């Protein structure tokens, strides 16, 4: 599993071949009405040959004078779990002059094979035939997937090599809240931060026949737009969505998506807390909280009323004041639900909250401790104590849940043997309360956090540590961990400059395996060792790019 370094405690997994995949953490958007949208299952005659959307509900099949491809550079399974991707699809299809079709990374790319040319899910139209390509990207390693997907479709991955007749490539999504420089060589324009705030601007650009020349003007006129060919490394500040645009609603559901046949909904945005490793922390993304009524009304919309399951997603779902009211409303409507982030200190003494979770079908209590020991949780400003985590495990046992799952970041600055010993001891104690699983994720320092300059623990040292933990916990605790090798690639993309994006393109051209990435980085480092930490240096030297929350 790939573990997000925020409070999101569900994430699509990594395929068996260890290819990179994506976290679920969404930046979402406004919900216009959907004139003419069909929420029915596609009729047999509408089906895309061999497409993955046969079992999907909520597909929008529209044609219009301007047609854009909305790309998610990962598989359909992962894309279907991104509410941000769904929000943009929904919003663009609300415009009568526009049709937005989706495209995803073919499954073959996950098995090391060269993917076939990519076609849209709705009409099997080749990607290169669209008027523009919009990309929703959530995770560093998907930069390589994006390059692979474009080149497989006959579109040059590097913007400077792209034919004038090729569709412009516009990138947005959660990754743009962190280090965007590696996207620079690929994108014609990047929408920074919460892209739902820019949807009207992007829609205006699209309906006037999208061109690269118009993108440059857009970047001059509108905040939050980065044109790498124009700005270089001087990345403008990010957009932040207004609270009155929430809740953000999904458009489709499918049993083939990572979270199953579930309608996703994001009630609140941002987080009120200050954890030092996290890019969603309060100084960067203050909490925006809609009234409960708005969320309850959303549950009564046809697309939610017809769904048996609702997924409440977001970075800080259990910190949203009216969350219990929303869960009760879902239960009253006969629904079960999933929740993407729960804090242990919201659960340990709140029987009512935990009873609601159980009544809504929640069966594994999943929380993040985010550090190996109490000392480190304190240093990270996590605000959680061991008693909160133990209390949540006891709550899971009280209501009869199947078990307790805890996400832990290892390799945080100053972590020592005593911290790891405490993690082992605590995990064993948890396992005496209920069935326990822990998922370990190597710490990756992120831009725009106070730990931006922290070191990344060497891969060999991480692997040793993970093996030792696993050996000590034996069969009493189910231990899973992210690959330290891929965490290193993520680190390089989190900290590198635009040349790092060219590394991603090179690695994608050579098949995207770890060896291809490693060789491409070795070449880059031989040319310019300072590229490893280029992003923070660039951020500091360009006042246009606020290093929000970095101190
Ligand atoms: S800042 Fe918020 S979202 Fe990030 S880890 Fe802390 S509690 Fe979770």
- Residue 51 has a pLDDT of 59
Dihedral of the CA atoms 150, 155, 156, 162 (nearest 10)? -140
Q: Measured from the CB, is residue 446 less than 6 Å from ligand 1?
A: no
**What is the per-residue pLDDT across 306-360, written as a single tens digit (0 to 9) for each?**
999 999 999 999 999 999 999 999 999 999 999 998 999 999 999 999 999 999 9
Tell which one of 3, 4, 5, 6 to mutate to probe ligand 1, the residue whose CB is within 8 A of the most ligand atoms: 6
User: Separation of 210 CA from ligand 1 center, angstroms?
Assistant: 38
User: Separation of 220 CA from ligand 1 center, angstroms?
Assistant: 33
**Cα–Cα distance, 345 to 272 (Å, whole number):** 14
**Cα–Cα distance, 531 to 305 (Å, whole number):** 51
> For residue 382, which atom of ligand 1 is closest to its CA?
6
User: Separation of 45 CA from ligand 1 center, angstroms?
Assistant: 46
Q: Measured from the CB, is residue 273 less than 6 Å from ligand 1?
A: yes
- Residue 49 has a pLDDT of 40
Under DSSP, the state recorded for 63 is: -
If you take atom 5 of ligand 1, which residue's CA is the nearest one?
A: 6
- Residue 39 has a pLDDT of 28
- Residue 540 has a pLDDT of 86
Taking CA atoms, 412 is separated from 30, 345, 376, 445, 494, in Å, by 36, 22, 8, 9, 16
Share of the chain above pLDDT 90, in %: 80
> For residue 6, which atom of ligand 1 is closest to its CA?
5
If you take atom 4 of ligand 1, which residue's CA is the nearest one?
A: 6
User: Separation of 23 CA from ligand 1 center, angstroms?
Assistant: 15
Q: In what order do the strands lie in the sheet with 309-312?
A: 248-249, 263-266, 309-312, 336-339
Q: Measured from the CB, is residue 396 less than 6 Å from ligand 1?
A: no
Tell which one of 272, 273, 409 to mutate to probe ligand 1, the residue whose CB is within 8 A of the most ligand atoms: 273
Q: Measured from the CB, is residue 342 less than 6 Å from ligand 1?
A: no
What parts of the chain have a pLDDT lower than 70?
A: 1-51, 543-551
- Residue 20 has a pLDDT of 29
- Residue 21 has a pLDDT of 27
End-to-end CA separation in angstroms for the chain: 31
CA angle 314, 389, 174 (to 5 degrees): 20
If you take atom 6 of ligand 1, which residue's CA is the nearest one?
A: 275
Q: Measured from the CB, is residue 412 less than 6 Å from ligand 1?
A: no
- Residue 505 has a pLDDT of 98
What are the backbone angles phi and psi of residue 370, rounded to the nearest 5°? 65, 0
Residues 374-402 as b/e (b if ≥16 CB within 10 A, e otherwise) read bebbeebebebebebbbbbbbbbeebebe
If you take atom 1 of ligand 1, which residue's CA is the nearest one?
A: 281
- Residue 483 has a pLDDT of 95
CB atoms within 10 A of CB 165: 6
User: Separation of 449 CA from ligand 1 center, angstroms?
Assistant: 12
- Residue 109 has a pLDDT of 83
Q: What share of the chain is helix, strand, coil (3-state, %, to 5)?
A: 40, 15, 45
- Residue 543 has a pLDDT of 59
User: Separation of 6 CA from ligand 1 center, angstroms?
Assistant: 5
Q: Measured from the CB, is residue 281 less than 6 Å from ligand 1?
A: yes
What are the backbone angles phi and psi of residue 315, rounded to the nearest 5°? -80, -25
Tell which one of 316, 340, 383 to mutate to probe ligand 1, the residue whose CB is within 8 A of the most ligand atoms: 316
> For residue 343, which atom of ligand 1 is closest to its CA?
7
**What is the per-residue pLDDT across 14-39, written as a single tens digit (0 to 9) for each?**
222 223 222 222 222 222 222 222 22
User: Separation of 8 CA from ligand 1 center, angstroms?
Assistant: 8
Contact 39, 303 (CB under 8 A): yes
Q: Measured from the CB, is residue 288 less than 6 Å from ligand 1?
A: no
Q: Measured from the CB, is residue 7 less than 6 Å from ligand 1?
A: yes
> For residue 315, which atom of ligand 1 is closest to its CA?
3
């Amino acid at each position: 599993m790939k573990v997000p370094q925020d409070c999101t405690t569900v994430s699509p997994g990594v395929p068996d071949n260890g290819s990179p995949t994506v976290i679920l953490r969404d930046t979402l958007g406004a919900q216009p009405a959907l004139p003419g949208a069909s929420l029915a299952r596609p009729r047999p005659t509408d089906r895309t040959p061999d497409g993955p959307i046969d079992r999907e509900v909520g597909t929008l099949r529209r044609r219009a004078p301007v047609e854009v491809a909305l790309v998610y550079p990962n598989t359909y399974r992962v894309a279907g779990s991104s509410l941000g991707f769904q929000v943009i699809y929904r919003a663009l299809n609300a415009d009568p002059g526009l049709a937005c079709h989706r495209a995803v990374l073919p499954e073959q790319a996950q098995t090391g094979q060269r993917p076939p040319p990519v076609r849209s899910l709705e009409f099997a139209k080749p990607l290169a035939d669209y008027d523009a390509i919009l990309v929703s990207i959530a995770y560093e390693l998907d930069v390589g997937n994006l390059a692979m997907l474009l080149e497989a479709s006959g579109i040059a991955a590097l913007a400077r090599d792209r034919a004038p007749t090729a569709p412009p490539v516009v990138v947005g999504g959660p990754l743009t809240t962190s280090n965007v420089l590696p996207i620079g060589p690929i994108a014609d324009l990047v929408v920074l931060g919460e892209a739902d705030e820019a949807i009207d601007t992007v829609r205006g650009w699209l309906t006037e026949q999208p061109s690269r020349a118009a993108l440059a003007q857009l970047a001059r006129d509108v905040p939050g737009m980065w044109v790498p060919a124009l700005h270089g490394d001087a990345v403008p500040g990010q957009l932040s969505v207004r609270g009155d645009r929430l809740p953000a609603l999904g458009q489709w559901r499918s049993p083939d998506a990572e979270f199953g046949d579930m309608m996703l909904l994001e009630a609140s945005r941002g987080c009120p807390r200050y954890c030092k490793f996290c890019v969603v922390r309060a100084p960067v993304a203050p909490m925006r909280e809609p009234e409960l009524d708005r969320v309850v009304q959303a549950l009564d919309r046809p697309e939610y009323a017809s769904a048996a399951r609702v997924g409440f997603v977001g970075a800080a779902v259990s910190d949203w004041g009216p969350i219990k009211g929303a869960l009760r409303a879902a239960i009253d409507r006969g629904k079960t639900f999933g929740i993407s982030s729960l804090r242990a200190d919201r659960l340990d003494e709140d029987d009512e909250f935990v009873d609601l979770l159980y009544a809504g079908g929640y069966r594994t209590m999943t929380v993040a401790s985010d550090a190996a020991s109490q000392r480190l949780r304190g240093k990270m400003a996590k605000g959680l104590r061991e008693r909160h985590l133990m209390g949540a495990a006891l709550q899971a046992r009280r209501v009869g849940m199947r078990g307790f799952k805890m996400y832990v970041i290892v390799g945080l600055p100053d972590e020592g043997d005593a911290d790891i010993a405490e993690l082992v001891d605590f995990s064993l104690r948890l396992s005496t309360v209920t069935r326990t699983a822990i998922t370990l994720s190597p710490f990756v320092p992120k831009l725009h956090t106070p730990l931006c300059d922290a070191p990344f623990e060497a891969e060999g040292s991480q692997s040793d540590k993970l093996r030792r933990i696993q050996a000590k916990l034996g069969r009493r605790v189910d231990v899973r961990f992210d690959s330290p090798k891929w965490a290193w690639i993520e680190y390089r993309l989190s900290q590198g400059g635009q040349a790092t994006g060219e590394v991603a393109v090179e690695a994608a051209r050579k098949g995207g395996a770890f060896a291809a990435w490693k060789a491409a980085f070795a070449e880059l480092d031989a040319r310019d060792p300072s590229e490893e930490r280029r992003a923070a240096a660039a951020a500091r030297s360009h006042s246009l790019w606020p290093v929000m929350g970095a101190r």
